[in-house]
């Protein structure tokens, strides 16, 4: 991956290096939010791409895609609060989609990005659609939804007060946090999650095993309370009403073997958007960005060319040392 020479360093009060090209910026409530930007040679004026993760994910799903996209445009990656290199919030309930969008706004400002294509995977689709609602209209050049719904992606009953699995998990964690944490780590470090994910169309053999192993390890080390709160917020959030009013293109990318976000869900997004388009990858599942990064990048090409037209020369974004 080619990285720009360092731009003038951002204000140290606003950002701090954390290694391997990553920086931390205070989010909406001061929580340290980690981000990095990779880009081609200085002077490129193509529209930046911002990659927004699924819930409980760090950025490994994007590795191959980010390297390819960064050959001709800035690519910004970031970790949600309580994820990856970002700190957990001081208040466990500060995990709503609105909080994440406010963090994204802080990251964009710190990176010097005033216009970008927002790409969301899984839960990241809710994040980018809510960002299209809340960020200044000129900030969002286009929205790309990869294997993700506009809202409430989990099965009905997941958050039911008495028997919903999220609520049961939260109660166990509240009463016996150490035991719950040990069981959580043991579960995610066992082969069972991968076997279940394969069985339900959540992933396939095409997803690099190293990427999936990194994902399971990442989940195993998350704070259960924070993750449950974010899962609950995800299930109660819905940005479906944003889609019919989008003033920018929306590209929906689906895998026809994805049983978590099946093709009809993605087709509904594309049909609801005034300027919507659907592309379907044969044999791909919910981990589409990891399984077929080449295909995803190819589908993005025409959309990115559209957003590059008339792009302002103030880009690229600042790239950390």
Specify the CATH number for the domain of residue 257.
Answer: 3.40.50.1820
Residue 162 belongs to a domain: no
Ramachandran sector of residue 174 (left: φ over 0; alpha: ψ -120 to 50; beta: rest): alpha
pLDDT at residue 64, as a whole number:
94
Distance, CA of 17 to CA of 12 (rounded, Å): 9
pLDDT(142) > 50? yes
Per residue in 172-209, pLDDT tens? 667 777 777 788 888 889 999 899 899 988 999 999 99
Residue 82 belongs to a domain: yes
pLDDT(242) > 50? yes
Residue 208 belongs to a domain: no
Residue 297 belongs to a domain: yes
Per residue in 19-75, pLDDT tens? 789 999 999 899 999 999 998 876 567 999 999 999 999 899 999 999 999 999 999
Higher pLDDT, 162 or 225: 225
pLDDT(263) > 90? yes
Note down the domain range covering 86.
16-153+237-308
Which pTM does this prediction carry? 0.87
Residue 315 belongs to a domain: no
pLDDT(157) > 70? no
Residue 43 belongs to a domain: yes
Residue pointed to by tokens 């910004």: 76
pLDDT at residue 7, as a whole number:
35
Residue 51 belongs to a domain: yes
Angle between helices 177-188 and 224-236 (to 10 degrees): 80
Residue 257 belongs to a domain: yes
- E strand or H helix at 290: helix 288-291
pLDDT at residue 319, as a whole number:
43
Structurally, how many domains does the chain consist of?
A: 1
């Amino acid at each position: 991956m080619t990285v720009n020479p360092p731009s003038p360093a951002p204000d140290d009060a606003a950002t701090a290096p954390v290694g391997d090209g990553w920086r931390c910026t205070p989010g909406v409530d001061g929580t340290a939010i980690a981000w990095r930007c990779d880009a081609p040679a200085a002077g490129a004026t193509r529209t930046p791409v911002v990659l927004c993760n699924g819930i409980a994910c760090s950025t490994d799903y994007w590795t191959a895609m980010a390297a390819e996209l960064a050959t001709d445009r800035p690519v910004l990656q970031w970790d949600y609060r309580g994820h990856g290199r970002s700190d957990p919030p001081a208040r466990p309930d500060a995990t709503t989609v609105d909080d994440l969008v406010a963090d994204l706004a802080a990251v964009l400002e710190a990176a010097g990005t005033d216009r970008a294509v927002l790409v969301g995977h899984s839960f990241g689709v809710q994040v980018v659609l809510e960002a299209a609602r809340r960020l200044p209209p000129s900030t969002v050049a286009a929205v790309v939804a990869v294997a993700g719904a506009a809202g409430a992606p989990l099965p009905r009953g997941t958050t039911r007060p008495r028997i919903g699995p999220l609520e049961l998990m939260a109660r166990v964690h509240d009463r016996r946090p150490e035991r719950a944490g040990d069981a959580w780590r043991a579960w995610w470090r066992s082969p069972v999650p991968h076997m279940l994910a394969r069985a339900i169309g959540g992933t396939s053999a095409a997803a690099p095993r190293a990427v999936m192993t990194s994902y399971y390890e990442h989940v195993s080390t998350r704070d259960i309370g924070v993750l449950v709160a974010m899962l609950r917020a995800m299930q109660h959030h819905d940005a479906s009403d944003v889609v019919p009013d989008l003033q920018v293109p929306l590209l929906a990318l689906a895998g026809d073997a994805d049983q978590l976000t099946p093709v009809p869900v993605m087709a509904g997004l594309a049909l609801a958007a005034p300027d919507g388009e659907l592309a379907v990858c044969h044999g791909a599942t919910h981990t589409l960005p990891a399984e077929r990064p080449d295909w995803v990048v190819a589908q993005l090409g025409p959309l990115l060319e559209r957003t590059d037209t008339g792009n302002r020369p103030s880009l690229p974004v600042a790239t950390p040392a």
